[in-house]
Amino acid sequence: MKAGMEINEFVAEIHRLDQTKLDIVTPTDELSYAVGENVERLWVKTPDAGSDLFELTPSAAEQVSERCGIPKVYRDRMLLDVPDLMMTNVNRWFRAKPERRLVRILDGKARAFLSDRYARIDHVDVLRAIEAPLQRLQNELGARVESAQLTEKKMFVKIVVPGIEAEITQGDVVQAGFVISNSETGHGAFTVQQMLFRLVCLNGMIRGETLRKTHVGARITDDGYVWSDDTREADDRVTLLAARDVVTAAVDETRFLALVARMRETTETADTAEPIKTIERLAKTHGLTESEGQLVLSCFVRDAGLNGLNQYGLVNAVTAASQRVPDYGRATELEALGGQLLDANWNQLRGDAWTRAGVN
C-alpha cells in the first residue's frame, strides 16, 4: 500500500481546511474570468460586497471549461496560442447562459466550480462521523490507520483491522480493512469500500463499494452569496449517521471470508505462458499507461515464485505496482483494479480465448 501523510499531520490539515475554506454562491454573470502568465483566475464577489481575484486550481479551471462547453483539446490550444480568445469564450458563456454556481475557495485559490445543488459532505464531517466506530474497532480488533492522504481532488483514509484475518495459502495472511474516500471539489462521491491487506508484501486490494453517497442535494436558496451551513445539515446528518453503521459492515467477518474464498480460487488458475502478452491485454482492456503496464509486468515476473503467473499473481502484481505509482489517487485506483480482476476472464487475459480465435 502506498504510504501517505503522517496521521497527526493529516488530521491537523483536515481541521485547518475546515477553518479557512470559503464557499460562495454567485450568478455567473457576476463572475469574470481572466488568463495571464499561464495562470487562470476568477473575479468573484465576496460577502463584504466587494470582489476578489482568485487563482483557479487546475481541476477548477477544467470545471469552468466543461461548464462552458469548451472541449479540452480546444481549451488547451487556446490557452497555449490565443489566451485572449479563451478569456472571451468563457466570459461570453458566463453572460449568455447565466446560472448560479458554487465557488469553493481555499488558501486564496478557487478550488472548485460546482452546481448550486452540490451537497457538501466535507472531510471534517466524515472524520467526525467515523470517529466512534473506528475507536470501537481499535479497542476490540486493533484497527489502525495504515495510510491517509489528501490530494487536490480527494481525501483517502485506509484502515486495517488485524483482529480479522485469514490465510489465502499456508503462511500467506490477509487482514480485513476498508477505505474511506471523499471529495470536496466534485471529483467523486463519499464512499466506504471493503479492502484486504496482505501481510507478506503490504499490498492493499480494494473490493467494491459498501456505501456511496453522491454530492447532490437541494438547490441552494439562501439570500446572499454565502451558503449557510443550515442548508445541508439535515441531509448530511442522515448520510453520516449511516456511515457509522457502514464502517462496521465493511469489516463484517462473513463478507471478509467470502472475499478470502474468492482469492483462494484464483490461486488454482493456470499460469500464463506469455506474461508479456497477458499484461498487454490487461493494459488495453483496463486503460493502463505504458509505464503502468511496465510496472505491473515487472512485479508479475519478479513475484512469480511467490504468487505464480496465474490470476492470483496478476491481482497481486497490480496492487504491488500501485505502491510505485507517483500519484496517490492513481495508486488507489490500481488497488481497486486488483479487486476488479478477481472477476476478470482469466482465460481471455492469459490468451486461451485469443488463441482459439486466431489472435496473437
What does the pLDDT look like over 39-76, one tens digit per residue?
999 999 877 655 688 999 999 999 999 999 999 999 99
Shared-domain flag, residues 140 and 200:
yes
Whether residue 8 is contained in a domain is answered as: no
Print the domain residue range for 142. 123-265
Shared-domain flag, residues 217 and 348:
no
Q: Does the pLDDT at position 232 exceed 70?
A: no
Residue corresponding to grid cell 468573484: 44
| Secondary structure of residue 158 in the 3-state scheme | strand
Whether residue 16 is contained in a domain is answered as: no
Shared-domain flag, residues 104 and 210:
no
Which contiguous run of DSSP H or E holds residue 332? helix 328-340
Q: How far apart are CA 298 and CA 320, in angstroms?
A: 10
Give the cell for residue 205: 486490494
pLDDT at residue 7, rounded to an integer: 92
Q: Do residues 180 and 191 touch, judged by C-beta distance below 8 A?
A: yes
Q: Does the pLDDT at position 212 exceed 70?
A: no
Q: Does the pLDDT at position 226 exceed 50?
A: no
Whether residue 3 is contained in a domain is answered as: no
Pairing of strands 51-56, 109-115: parallel
- Residue 253: band (very low, low, confident or very high) from pLDDT cuts 50, 70, 90: confident
User: Of 265, 295, 317, which marks where a domain is finished?
Assistant: 265
Q: What angle do CA 105, 109, 114 make, to 5 degrees?
A: 45
> Is 327 exposed, middle or buried (CB count within 10 Å of its CB: 0-12, 13-18, 19+)?
exposed
Number of domains in the chain: 3
Shared-domain flag, residues 304 and 347:
yes
Shared-domain flag, residues 221 and 299:
no
Q: Does the pLDDT at position 15 exceed 50?
A: yes
Query: Which CA distances in Å does 270 have to 110, 173, 347, 355?
Result: 52, 22, 8, 15
Q: What angle do CA 274, 277, 279 make, to 5 degrees?
A: 110
Shared-domain flag, residues 253 and 281:
no
The pTM of the full predicted model, rounded to 2 decimals, is 0.84
Query: Which CA distances in Å does 346 have to 68, 77, 243, 268, 340?
Result: 43, 42, 35, 11, 12
Pairing of strands 173-182, 32-36: unpaired
Shared-domain flag, residues 30 and 87:
yes
Whether residue 252 is contained in a domain is answered as: yes
